[in-house]
Each structure stands twice: as structure tokens, then as C-alpha cells.
Chain A
Amino acid sequence: MKKIRFASIYFLFAVIGAVILFPVLIAVILPIQDSDELERTFAPLAETGSRYVSIDYIPQYPTLKNFSKLLLYTPEFYKVFWNSILVVGSILLFQLLVAVPSAWAFAKFRFKGKELLFNLYVIFMLMPFQIMMLSQYIVLDGMHLMNTRLSIILPAIFSTFPVFLIYRGFADIPDDVEDSARIDGANELQVLLRIGIPLGKSGILSCLVLSFLDLWNMVEQPLAFIKDKKLFPLSLYLPMLDIKNADIMLTAAIVTLIPAVFVFIIGQDFLEQGIIATALKE
């Protein structure tokens, strides 16, 4: 009986996995295809006529030509890639610096208006960009930051999303651990650094991973605040390309994907370790 149950569960996951991976598969196969095959896939989308899109699963002439075209012949790609790395990297770094203490304060201290403030944080996190767009324009323009990378970096650093995620991680830490540290004479900062952060690792890491994925794909803010194409991040490079350049587009998408995949593979490992560690603590 158990065997059948296990088998059916595995089967279910296989199906789900296939459905989920199907689009990903396409994204991976297409860039290795030759332009003729790609043409059969993309041309019906761009043209007039009622041809249907056809996808060759096994590329007949697998080629790395698209990759070389992107990596060697499109210098804008590097600029754009560097922009993304710079922007995302600096945001993540400062997000941590700002959000970790705040989340710790929310999780471990009690003060007047805490609930209200936290709720406000959550609501601001939820508000779609379009709603805040108008007023952010005015503030950023007043600070003369329009059309600079800072215009997307600064607001993102103070996003309340990391606070929320890291708070979760800290909230689970039992109080006695830190109380004992306090008794031992540690001040609050040391409590945070020596106890909070190590124990709250899972929260911080999950925040890093999610934040990275979100920022790596950031589209609306750069579109709204940056005019200079040289300052665009990678996430905007893709929509800029026409369907005529679809081969470069998909290849660029893959290359965009790789750091993200890389980050969450590493992040996953740490996440798991964090989970195991907490579980072991019991």
C-alpha cells in the first residue's frame, strides 16, 4: 500500500515537474538552435499570415553561434550586465545593513506604535509601484537623481520587503538565548551580531535570494526613472530587443538566468543548513 502511495506521489511530482519545466526547456533549447529553425519559431509571431509556431525539440544544427554573437559582438550587453551587477549588488548590501537592525528591533523590542509601524511597513511593501510612481518622481527629481542609477538604488535600499522577511527569521529565535547573553553582559549590538544574525540566518538568506531575484528582474523603476540607455540594467535590455533579434534575446535571457540560478543554488544549500540547524536546536 505504501509503495503505491509513494509511486503515485512520485508520478504526480513528475507530471508537475514536467509542466513547470516545459517553458524553461524551451528557453534553454531555443538559443542553441540555428537561425533557420528559430525563424520557424519566431517568424509567425512577427509576420502577417497564419503560420503557426513550431518548435524543434532536438535542434538539427545545434550551434553556439548565438552565444558567440551575444558575448563577443554585442558590447552593449556587457555594459548592461555590469549595470545590473552594480545596481543589484549595492542594493543587496545596503538593504542588509538597513533591514537587519530594523527587523531585529521589530522582533525583539516592544515599543509604542510598533504594531502600527509594522503594519505600515507591510502595506508600503504591498503597494504596487504605479501607485507610488508619481510621488517618487517628484522626490527623486528634487534630489536631482533622475536619470542616474542612484534613482533606482536608493528607494530599493529602503524597501520594507527585506525587513518583513528577516523579521520572520528573527521572530522564531527563542528569547532565552539572548537573555542569557544579556546576563553575560553583552550589549544590544553584540546580541544582534553574535546571536541574532547567526540564528536568523535562514531569514536573512531567504531574503537575499528573493530580493536578488526580484531586483535582477526589476523593470518598472528603471523604465520610469532612467532615460539613458547606457544606464539600463540587464532586465530592460531584453524588452528593448525586437522580435527580429529573438535569437539574441533568448540567449541573453539564458545568460541573465545563470547568475540567478547560481544564487539560489547556493542560497538553497545555506537555507537547508539553516533549517537543519534550527531543527537540531530543538
Chain B
Amino acid sequence: MTKCKTKKQNVYCLLFLLPSLLGVMIFIFIPFLDSVRKSFFTAVSEKFIGAKNYEVIMKNDAFALAVKNTALFTAVCIPALIIISFFLSYMITKIKCIRLIKSVLLFPLAIPTAAMVLIWQILFSDNGYINNILVSTGHGSVSFLSSKTAFWVLVGSYIWKNLGYTVILWVTGIMKISGSVIEAAKVDGAGEADILFRIIIPNLKPTLYTITIISFLNSFKVFREAFLVAGAYPHDSIYLLQHLFNNWFINMDFDKMAAAAVLVFSVIFAAIVLLQRMWNKED
């Protein structure tokens, strides 16, 4: 990395950053600061009440439920996705027909949400196709969308959708590892497991970082499907942060929204910083 020693480079650096910075300032950062400000006032009448909003949402059961569900969902999905996709990608590198498999895996990403929702309804609703099969083979029908299984349906939907891209990222990362290094190790008598654990995995750290972040991002996107299928007040197990925000907005609880937004931001901030520290420590 070059150091910005020369003035000219400094200028270019600034120029490159400027458009993005400006846009982010106007459309994201300043609105967020406004949210922070709002978190200290009442909703519509805008009276200053200090940290009361934070107190209120900490004690709020719906908030606790939403946080719990969102955290649980993230904690389950992301590791699951990472592990499954890594496993698959490792195997892909061993065989041919990569292209076909990649196309198949990528397909779910291209399907529009609304079509997805329709298909989920066809498959998983109480008189949907899967229940049809279950009932005709003698098992009882399962209420997929209105019980605890809804959570797992959502997890499944998430993994189904994001598997493809994550695999591709892994494969890209694996392929970048210089072939000659692996050849050399093989000559030295290293077995598969050795190659895997001593060479491949360590070199995949940047890829892992990217994948974690993107998976995290996509885990928030399941809200769309959950909302279109189960509405504003779904089963408790899939009641996410976004549901709560959505409903708060409709009820004009802007103060709670703002306070919660600040809290979520702080938590994510801490998580990212932590992640980075962990990454950099191992360097």
C-alpha cells in the first residue's frame, strides 16, 4: 500500500472518495444522525425526554422477542451457511462439471421474492403441497408457517437462496491459492487433510471475512419473505426486528424506532470492530 505522501496523491485520494462520501453523508449518515436526535424526544409532539426512550424499549417485551429472534436467526444461519457452503465448495474443486453445478446453485438467487413467496405458499401452507404428501402417506399435517417450524422454514429458505453465491465465493477463493504451492506440498508428502487444513483454510481468511459480512447482510433480507407470507404479526418464532420497526412506524412510535435504531447500530458496530480485531490478531 502506498502511503499518501505526496500532495498530489492526497488530492486524488480525496477526489476518489468524494462522490461516495457526499452521497453517504446526505442519504445515510445525516438521516441516521437525525434518528439519533429523535431518540431523545417524544414521537410526534417532539418534547425532550432524555434517555427515557431507551429505558422503555429495554423493558419492552416485543423488542426483547424481536432481538432474541433476530440474534438466534443470525447465530444459526450464518455458521450453517458457511459450513455447508465450504463443504460443498471444497468438493466442487475436486470434480469437473463445475459450470453446471454453479449455474444450478445460483438459480435461487435470481428468483424474485414475490414468486418465492408464492411458491412457499404452495409448498408450505396448511393445505399446501408438502402437507398433501404428508397426509397421503399417513403422517399428520404440519402447520409449517404458523408454528415453531416457521423459524426453520425461514432458515431453510435463507440457506437455499444464498448457498450458490457463497459457494462461488469459496471456490473463487480456493482457486486463487497458487497451484504451485499445493503441488509442492504434495511432493513433500502432505495428505489431503494436511493440504486442507494447513494451506487452504489459512489462505481463505479474507474470503471468510467477506462471506461473513455478506451472509449477515442477507440474513436481514429474509424479512421480505417472512412479511409477505406471514404478515405483520407472524408466529412468535419468526417475529424479527424489522417486523417490530414496521409496526412501530405504523403506530407512529418514532421515538422507540429511533432509540432501537441507535442500539442496533451500536451492537453491529461493536460486532464489526470485534471481528476485525480477531482477524487482524491472527495476522
Contact = CB atoms under 8 A, between A and B. Distances in A.
Contacts of B105: 17, 20
7 contacts: A27-B111, A119-B269, A132-B35, A134-B258, A188-B12, A235-B113, A257-B111
Contacts of A266: none
A178 B12 CA distance: 15
A23 interface: yes
A131 B245 contact: yes
A60 interface: no
Given A101-B19, A279-B179, A126 B217 contact: yes
Contacts of A168: 206, 210
Interface of B: 1-4, 8-10, 12-13, 15-17, 19-24, 26-32, 34-35, 38, 88, 91-92, 94-95, 99, 101-119, 121-123, 125, 127-129, 131-132, 135, 160, 163-165, 168, 172, 175-176, 178-180, 206, 210, 213, 216-217, 220, 223-224, 228, 241-242, 245-246, 249, 254, 257-258, 260-261, 264-265, 268-269, 272-273, 276
Interface of A: 6, 9-10, 12-13, 16-17, 19-21, 23-24, 26-27, 41-42, 44-45, 50-55, 97-99, 101-102, 104-105, 108-111, 115, 119-136, 138-139, 154-155, 157-158, 160-161, 163-165, 168, 171-172, 175, 178-179, 182, 187-189, 192, 202, 210, 213, 216-217, 219-220, 234-235, 238-239, 246, 249-250, 253-254, 256-257, 260-261, 264-265, 268, 271-272, 275, 278-279, 282
Nearest to B168: A271
A102 B176 contact: no
A131 B28 contact: no
B66 to A, nearest CB: 11
B2 A6 contact: no
B212 to A, nearest CB: 11
Contacts of A51: 127
B87 to A, nearest CB: 10
A132 B220 contact: no
A86 to B, nearest CB: 17
B30 A13 contact: no
**Shortest 10 CB-CB contacts between residues of A and residues of B:** A158-B23, A135-B31, A238-B114, A253-B115, A101-B16, A188-B12, A130-B245, A52-B132, A102-B20, A260-B110
Given A20-B163, A21-B107, A45-B122, A52 B128 contact: yes
B28 A253 contact: no
A101 B4 CA distance: 16
Most buried by B among A23, A104, A213, A261: A23
Given A13-B91, A213-B110, 7 more contacts: A23-B111, A24-B108, A123-B269, A130-B245, A158-B23, A164-B213, A235-B112
Contacts of B31: 132, 134-136, 138-139
Nearest to A135: B31
B115 to A, nearest CB: 3
A156 B194 CA distance: 45
Contact of A139 (B26, B163, B216, B264): B26
A126 B268 contact: yes
Nearest to B114: A238
B278 to A, nearest CB: 14
B17 A101 contact: yes
B115 A54 contact: no
A214 to B, nearest CB: 8
B173 to A, nearest CB: 10
B38 A12 contact: no
A101 B20 contact: yes
A122 B223 CA distance: 20
Given A27-B111, A130-B242, A155-B27, A20 B224 contact: no
B180 A264 contact: no
B233 to A, nearest CB: 15
Contacts of B19: 97-98, 101-102
Nearest to A30: B122
A172 B103 CA distance: 25
A161 B217 contact: yes
